[in-house]
Structure 1
Amino acid sequence: MTSFSIIPLAFILGFALVRAVTCTVAATMRWVSEGRRDWLFGLLIVAAWAGVVLFLLLQYSGRAHIPVDIVIGWPLFAGAAIMGVGAVVNKGCFVGTVGYIGAGKFSYLLTFVGLALAMLVLRVDFFQLAEPIIFKPRVAVEDSLYKQFMVVAFLILASLSLYFIIIKRDMTMLALLAIGVTAALIYGTRPEWSYAAVLNSLLSGQGLSVGMAVELAVAALFGGAIFSSWLKNKFRPQLGTMKMAFANLIGGFLMGIGAATVPGGNDVLLMWTIPGLTFYGIVAYLMMIVTIAVVVKAMPLMTRIMSRFQNQSATAE
């Protein structure tokens, strides 16, 4: 695959993201509030198809870019938790943010402004990580029982999704399949293609990629999302409230801070790191989901406490 082939793939990825719920925050809130795990299952389907494609690319081409595992320590757990809090504040993870922008909610552009601010803050020596990220030697699939189990699990989930697509005519499953396949092909070709990588490159003064392939792919991602929403008559351009804009900015900032210890952030975890059979990817993603669930559960309690405190203050006055 050439570098420019990621551009149409990114457009398809953006298009498919609008056709299925792949936002970790929305999926976790649905599970916590309604007891329904169907959207979380959809995230497994995305990871499964991405994993199958990455595995096939590695086995039969030998040219696929595969993520390297890292040593698990407290910074990973802290970073994943911070990403979870940031995602709740933002009311959407980075994947969900693409879908919201595609629907015309342009205050979510501030999520990436917050991400850029986090990158700038982390460049200051005072805010450097106390413990550097330690990478582990890569272990082949045939030499790791864990990786063999993951490959089998991915194959089972992918086969199950084919059943829903072919027998049940489930178009949402088809969109999830498209997300997983296109994401794996893109990351397997150019792992540095993402908007976070583009921001980091610009902020560090490295400039644009050769032929602007990466930048065009990022534009195609959002273009595909907008086009998909427009076809569904769901594209409603709006700037949103100041409160929402502030939440997007802070949410993006927190997710950017968390991503400093969880390489790539939550979108890369789902579409490349976990499919690439890393153990830290699963640990970090589960930590993020648990954090989101705890925060969502605690929010009504905090609201009641604040309301009671305000009532007591008003009575005292």
Structure 2
Amino acid sequence: MPSYYVIALAFILGFALSRAATCTVAATDRWVNQGKLDWLFGLTVVASWAAIMLFLLVKWTGRVHLPLDIALNGQLFFGAGMMGLGAIINRACFIGTVGYIGTGKFSYILSFIGLGFALWLAGGKGLDLFGPITFLPRTTIEQTPAKQIALGLFGMIALVSLWLVLIKRKWTYVALITIGVCAATIYGTRPEWAYTALLNSFLQGQGLSVGKTVELAVVALFAGAIISSWLKDRFKPEWGGWKLALTNLAGGFLMGIGASAVPGGNDVLLMWTIPGLTFYGLVAYLTMIATIAVAMLIGKRFSPQSSPPP
């Protein structure tokens, strides 16, 4: 039976994504070049509310899809590094890509084309870099003391975000909370809606979802982002130049290679894998951020602006 509520949640998710800074590349750039951690903290708010929502869904329904953990190995670090490298070449992670498309920068559509090509190659069409992924068993979301502590930390961050909204009147955090709640509900009940899973189903010829729910949800996501930008007078359609198109294609391809080595992409890591209290999700996401930060520092050091005068 199709779950049409996912379409409404996807629209709200896209709308909220255009109201807050949720791009990992932009947040890391703000940290590296301006010394400000507020956007990175915003990402922890998203993950925290997603974790709380997954926990509540488990307790309420008992039938929520939780991510399985995997062992840490070289493939994971390689994949996370490739996601970071691809994101900085693309000038946005996949969450940021949705935001850019929402503002009318349609060359970022090529990021998803590059992703699809990478998944096609990694699926046995000429690129066989990765071995099978071994998943670790799990029972409940808070099955170990470490996960109980992590859930408690997420709860504390969620309380801080509520304080920022109610006392400090920082309304951007309403969008961040909305993103976490909507994303966790969608991923927790329909994990096949993730772009990697959707593209893989197309590439494998599996056809459309029941009631076309997943496909309509993706359309609703971008519709929400576009309408949100339009209401703020930020929707300015443009295709960009060929250089941007090539970087979008190449960046999407590299992020796709990374997503083939590590289950899911950066949005899945932030809004489902980490909130689902998997250790590999946290390690992969931190590795991706570290890769982006190092690349930015290297670029800053060797850029013409940073060179000493003759």
- TM-score, normalised via structure 1 length: 0.94
Superposed counterparts of 1:36-115, under 5 Å: 36-115=36-115
Q: CA deviation at 1:301?
A: 3.0
Determine the C-alpha separation between the residues in 2 that align with 1:33 and 1:303.
13
The 1:245–1:186 alpha-carbon spacing in structure 2 relative to 1, beyond 3 Å, is same
SS at match of 2:136: coil
Structure 2 partner of 1:20: 20
Structure 1 partner of 2:199: 199
Structure 1 partner of 2:34: 34
Determine the C-alpha separation between the residues in 2 that align with 1:303 and 1:202.
41
The alignment yields a C-alpha RMSD, in angstroms, of 1.8
Query: Residue by residue, what CA displacement relative to the aligned partner does 1:203-239 show, whole Å, maximum 9, x if unpaired?
Result: 1111111110000000000000000000000000000
Structure 1 partner of 2:238: 238
Structure 1 partner of 2:218: 218
| Equivalent position amino acid for 1:244 in 2 | L
Aligned residues, how many? 308
Determine the C-alpha separation between the residues in 2 that align with 1:73 and 1:64.
28
- TM-score, normalised via structure 2 length: 0.96
Q: CA deviation at 1:304?
A: 4.2
Structure 1 partner of 2:228: 228
Determine the C-alpha separation between the residues in 2 that align with 1:239 and 1:246.
12
Q: CA deviation at 1:142?
A: 4.9
Q: CA deviation at 1:252?
A: 0.1
Query: Residue by residue, what CA displacement relative to the aligned partner does 1:24-82 show, whole Å, maximum 9, x if unpaired?
Result: 00000000000000000000000000000000111221011110001110100000001
**4+ residue segments displaced more than 6 Å:** none
Matching of residue 137 in structure 1 with residue 145 in structure 2: no
Q: CA deviation at 1:199?
A: 1.6
Determine the C-alpha separation between the residues in 2 that align with 1:138 and 1:244.
43
Determine the C-alpha separation between the residues in 2 that align with 1:283 and 1:294.
16
Which has the higher mean CA deviation after the structures are superposed, 86-95 or 113-122?
A: 113-122
| Equivalent position amino acid for 1:285 in 2 | Y
| Equivalent position amino acid for 1:44 in 2 | T
Determine the C-alpha separation between the residues in 2 that align with 1:2 and 1:39.
36
Greater Rg by CA: 1
Structure 2 partner of 1:313: none
Structure 1 partner of 2:254: 254
The 1:123–1:2 alpha-carbon spacing in structure 2 relative to 1, beyond 3 Å, is closer
Q: CA deviation at 1:194?
A: 2.2
Structure 1 partner of 2:282: 282
Q: Percent identity?
A: 59
Query: Residue by residue, what CA displacement relative to the aligned partner does 1:251-286 show, whole Å, maximum 9, x if unpaired?
Result: 000000001121111000000000000000000000
Q: CA deviation at 1:126?
A: 4.9
Structure 2 partner of 1:6: 6
Determine the C-alpha separation between the residues in 1 that align with 2:141 and 2:119.
34
Listed as ranges, the gaps of 5+ residues in structure 2 are: none
Matching of residue 183 in structure 1 with residue 183 in structure 2: yes
Determine the C-alpha separation between the residues in 2 that align with 1:167 and 1:300.
38
Q: CA deviation at 1:160?
A: 0.8
| Equivalent position amino acid for 2:112 in 1 | F
Determine the C-alpha separation between the residues in 2 that align with 1:51 and 1:141.
9
The 1:61–1:296 alpha-carbon spacing in structure 2 relative to 1, beyond 3 Å, is same
Q: CA deviation at 1:120?
A: 1.4
SS at match of 1:259: helix
Structure 1 partner of 2:292: 292
